Structure 1
Amino acid sequence: MGKKPFIIGIAGGSGSGKTFFLKCFLKHFTTDEVCLVSQDDYYHPVAQGMTAEEIALYNFDLPQTIDHEHFLSDIEKLMNDETVYKKEYTFNNLNAVPKILEIKPAPILIVEGLFIFHFKGIAEKLDLKIFIEAEEEIALKRRIKRDFEERGYSREDVMYRWVNHVMPAYNEFLFPYRDESHQIIVNNTQQADEIILVTETISKELREKVLDSK
């Protein structure tokens, strides 16, 4: 590639719709044009030796649960045109067999996660910071739906995590960086067209600014 990639940081609290935003955004580019590195794949392993009950109570919503040095190191490798190989995170599902992810460098590098603005070494490398937010009631409904359908958590488990882990972490480690972001996207709607339109606008600007200028 030669030139440093354009690095986009995308952060949002649980239930903000960050995953859907990313899905829509990535559809505008080929795999040669953009690559994605996710904070979720850099949790320190804790499942070994823990029971399912202990895992259910463990607070994953803290910066120290992330191996941010490894995270930063892999971002720098991608910046230096090196391919990264990383074991995927399986959300401490003891029965899941993790895949090895191959992340190839590209002109646009997306870094996403809850703490990416909090980790100074990572935040300093971001050319564009996008903050995605939703009203708490809407975000909670999305979280309950996801955790019940995809992870088998009860409503009680979800509410415990929300009150004791999720919201305190959001308020301390993400929300303070909201006004430092270059773009704030409010995602309270259930209408996919609105988010698709936002991603179209951003991707068009990036194509003109980053890809067509190379």
Structure 2
Amino acid sequence: MTFWLLTIAGVSASGKTTLMDYLARGVHKRFGYYPTCVSMDGYYRDFSALAPHELQQVNYDHPDSFDVTALIRDLRYLKAGKPIYPRSYDYVQHKPVEAVTLTETKPVLVLEGILPLHFTEILSLSDLTVYIDTPINDCYARRLRRDTLERGRSEESIRYQFETHVMPMYNAYIQPQKERADRVLADGGQCPILLQDIVEKVAACRD
């Protein structure tokens, strides 16, 4: 069996998860199963041992903040048809959390994150790559709402992180991924053309 990997990149709050959910529903409608979805956020390093003043200096938008070795290992397992224990990230405790049950791999795999196309190993594992080019000011407004409501952060800390961490990393690492992507979208959300492209490519692999 062929396992086909779609990788979606874009700055935080650009609409990656919204697009991934839309595509997952489309794949289910066409093939009868939901893709195995992996979030790069689950592979942040464990920063729980740091003091509060040290945590303020952690740059979650820098490539070094990720445990890329673990992410690539799990992607290779999935592409080989092997199950994984998917990871999520506890932003309050600043550490990854491993699932207690295995996730079985499906023929369609989807990875989303802020920096997957920065890493050559992930590019080589991907069958189709997408970059979401949402305007950065729109992303900040979405991030402000999300992080205050879902991650228990103050508006001041979000603004500080955006100005000192997000924007420099956006210019240095995140936006340059646009040049490495097979497709560039103006925003996340529904994209019937991309869904049809995926359906056709996956169907061709099955034939």
TM bucket (normalised to shorter chain) is: 0.7 to 0.9
CA positional deviation for 1:96:
10
Change (3 A) 1:53 1:23: farther
Structure 2: distance between partners of 1:67 and 1:110:
18
- Residues 28-177 of structure 1 aligned to structure 2 (within 5 Å): 28-30=26-28, 32-47=33-48, 49-52=49-52, 54-93=54-93, 99-100=99-100, 102-177=102-177
Amino acid across the alignment from 1:166 = V
176, 179, 203: which one pairs with 2:195?
A: 203
The residue number in structure 2 matching 1:14 is 12
Contact kept in structure 2, 1:46 and 1:92, CA below 8 Å:
no
Structure 2: distance between partners of 1:209 and 1:123:
17
Q: What SS does structure 2 have at the residue aligned with 1:16?
A: coil
Structure 1: distance between partners of 2:96 and 2:9:
26
Residue 37 of structure 2 corresponds to residue 24 of structure 1: no
Superposition CA RMSD, Å: 2.4
Gaps of 5+ in 2: none
Gaps of 5+ in 1: 189-194
Deviations 1:144-172 (A, max 9, x none): 11111111222211111001111111211
Deviations 1:99-123 (A, max 9, x none): 4363321211112211211111111
Change (3 A) 1:98 1:123: closer
Paired positions, count = 203
Q: What SS does structure 2 have at the residue aligned with 1:131?
A: strand
Larger displacement relative to structure 2 (79-88 or 52-61):
52-61
CA positional deviation for 1:137:
1.6
Deviations 1:55-107 (A, max 9, x none): 34422221111111111111111111100113422124379976436332121
Identical aligned residues as a percent: 26
